[in-house]
Amino acid sequence: MSLLLSLALAASTTTAAPACPADALGTTRTLTLPRAAGAWGTAQHAPLPGLAPKEVVLTFDDGPRPESTPQVLKALADQCVQASFFMNGEPMARHPELARAVRDAGHSVGMHGFRHDNFSQLPAEDQGRDLKAMIATYVEVLGEAPAAYRFPFLAESPTLMKALDKLGITVMSVDAGAEDWLPDQTPQMLADKLMGQLAKPGGGIILLHDAQDQTARALPFLLKTLKAGGYRVVHLRW
């Protein structure tokens, strides 16, 4: 077993521990959405129902990636935080053990496209093939039907919106993020962007990327910054 996978599995064990450090950010509560069509996140849709002011949902895109996802899992476990991971199908197929380690650590898993394509620029047939491959990979790796989807680049297409609605799959957009896909950012830079984007909505769905090394390095600081700002984490499930 590789060291990185061992870290991921260790994070799973830590998350299951009954006690959290007194100063941990923690997870305030769990919000369970129905397994039904819907679309949430004020970047494109209505606010996620059921969130109070200063409550946030942590989400991570583009994994699983062995070089960074285990560190993200450890940072979350150290702060007793549960999150939602929107995975691409290709890395799920390459690293099924890591995808399952995320799920087994108590986090929610959604879909993020088999390939990280901008579907608004692809023919309808290609969009349909990608969704079919994504669903098949999710079922094969995790052994259950998917319930949530986030579009790569947040580039929603009428074709896939209609298909997801027909399948009863929830579409998750975002309310705030740290723009952590941009290169050469320090933890303080990421924290400043995140807190700045959270200021207007006062909470909501946070977008980060577990496939980014700088995000994995910065996450302990970001979680402490959220706590210092008075934010509380809600775990989203379906």
Q: What is the DSSP string of 189-222?
A: HHHHHHHHHHHTTSSEEEEEETT-HHHHHHHHHH
Q: How confident is residue 19, by pLDDT bands cut at 50, 70 and 90?
A: confident
Give me the pLDDT at residue 18, please: 52
Average pLDDT estimate for 159-186: 98
Q: How confident is residue 20, by pLDDT bands cut at 50, 70 and 90?
A: confident
Domain 3-11+30-43+55-237: top CATH class: alpha beta
For 57, left (φ over 0), alpha (ψ -120 to 50), or beta?
A: beta
Joined tokens for residue 42:
């004020």
What gap in Å lies between CA 162 and CA 155, rounded to an integer? Answer: 14
Query: How many beta carbons lie within 10 A of that of residue 22, not counting itself?
Result: 6
| 16: pLDDT strictly greater than 70 | no
| 22: pLDDT strictly greater than 50 | yes
| 1: pLDDT strictly greater than 90 | no
Any residues with CB less than 8 A from the CB of 177 and at least 6 apart, and which? Answer: 193, 194, 197, 206, 207, 208
Q: How confident is residue 7, by pLDDT bands cut at 50, 70 and 90?
A: very low
Mean pLDDT of the chain: 93
Q: Is there a contact between 149 and 164 (Cβ–Cβ < 8 Å)? A: yes
| 10: pLDDT strictly greater than 90 | no
Average pLDDT estimate for 201-218: 98
Percentage of residues of the chain with pLDDT beyond 90: 91
What gap in Å lies between CA 164 and CA 151, rounded to an integer? Answer: 11
Average pLDDT estimate for 124-132: 98
